Amino acid sequence: MIINGHMLSLKVSEQHHNTPLHQFLKEEAFASKPIIHYWMEHRKVRINQKSAQHGAKVSLGDHIVIDLFETEESDVTPEYGDLEVLFEDEHLLIVQKPAGRPTHPNEKGQIGTLANLVAFHFQANGEEKRVRHIHRLDQDTSGTVIFAKHRLAHAILDQMLAKKWIKRTYIAVAEGLFKKKKGTINAAIGRDKHHAVRRRLSPTGQHAITHFQVTGVNKRLDMTAVELQLDTGRTHQIRVHLSSIGHPLAGDSLYGGSGVMDRCALHAKKVEMKHPFTDEHMSIEAPLPSDMAELLHHITS
């Protein structure tokens, strides 16, 4: 696989000689049936510089080129505002989500979300694109969020997330003093039948694993700074897991935290992964917002 801007090039090996084109694209470009159908309908695939036809087969040595560029009407209302871009190329966008802003709209026409700012960013750059988030953060959580800029990037990044090939690191301040310096919380999470928003540990819930490591302690404040990594991405996962071991996040009133902050003391610090097309190692870090930086300073000083 060779990428040049938005053009993806593939060479047919002996293994795929006389293979149907759709099967070759599924195996070598990691494309689903709907993506391949879109490409064919929009004449995005060329075999040896000729437009590919439905039902075509590929032969040894064939040169396949796919144009990944897409023009689509945005499904999110663009909204002007400050957007902190941490990384961007033709395939993905990684931004810093500020605390207090939802990741995406819950209904058509809604504004005030991170996705609205991303839609405006695309519009301002002359890019007609849908907004495709790969993962979400709670409204109160700040930090890194990944967006795909076309449907193949979305599909591959989704697979990478499911296979745990995207490493997400969080920083939090929790109440109380941890008995262990590091550990793993492996407990399923489900809905709380008695509360519309809350989640709780539930043996019939979704599998959830959180790894934590203590990075600072303040006995006077009775608070602990921790770094966390997730194997799964359940709603409120860190908040539920830490609360379940008696250490709710500072500021997290929903799960028993005190009001030391106006929000949950949680920041999605970093994402690490291989670029889905270039294989380049990426480590993208979001700067600490001022409220988290100040609280962590008190913990560690």
Residue 25 CA to residue 35 CA, distance in Å, equals: 10
- Which one is the CATH code of 70-163: 3.20.20.450, 3.40.50.2300, 3.30.2350.10, 3.40.980.10? 3.30.2350.10
Q: What is the average pLDDT score of the chain?
A: 93
- pLDDT for residue 73: 87
Q: Do domains 2-67 and 168-268+296-300 have the same CATH topology?
A: no
- Give, in order, the Cα–Cα distances in Å from 13 to each of 20, 21, 54: 13, 13, 21
Predicted confidence (pLDDT) per residue in 103-152, tens digit: 999 888 899 999 999 999 999 999 999 999 999 999 999 999 999 999 99
- Which one is the CATH code of 2-67: 3.40.1500.10, 3.10.290.10, 3.40.640.10, 3.50.50.60? 3.10.290.10
Does 261 score more than 90 pLDDT? Answer: no
Given the structure tokens 């920083």, which residue do they identify? 171
User: Max alpha carbon distance in the chain (Å)?
Assistant: 72
- Burial of residue 66, with CB atoms counted within 10 A of its CB: 0-12 exposed, 13-18 middle, 19 or more buried: buried
Predicted confidence (pLDDT) per residue in 141-175, tens digit: 999 999 999 999 999 999 999 999 999 999 999 99
Beta strands in 207-265 (DSSP E): 209-218, 223-230
Element (H, E) at 185: strand 182-186
pLDDT above 70 coverage of the chain, percent = 100
Residue 5 CA to residue 292 CA, distance in Å, equals: 37
Does 301 score more than 80 pLDDT? Answer: no
* Domain residue spans of the chain: 2-67, 70-163, 168-268+296-300
Q: Which of 82, 89, 138, 158 is catalytic?
A: 138
- pLDDT for residue 151: 93
Residue 58 CA to residue 191 CA, distance in Å, equals: 49
DSSP state of 238: H
Can 138 be counted among the known catalytic residues? yes
- The model's pTM is 0.91
Q: How do strand 57-58 and strand 19-20 relate by DSSP bridges? A: antiparallel
Predicted confidence (pLDDT) per residue in 53-101, tens digit: 888 999 999 999 999 988 888 889 999 999 999 999 999 999 999 999 9
Ramachandran angles phi, psi of 56, nearest 5°:
-65, 155
- Which one is the CATH code of 168-268+296-300: 3.40.50.150, 3.30.2350.10, 3.40.640.10, 1.10.150.20? 3.30.2350.10
- Say how many CA atoms lie within 13 Å of 182 toward its Cβ: 6
- pLDDT for residue 205: 92
- pLDDT for residue 4: 84
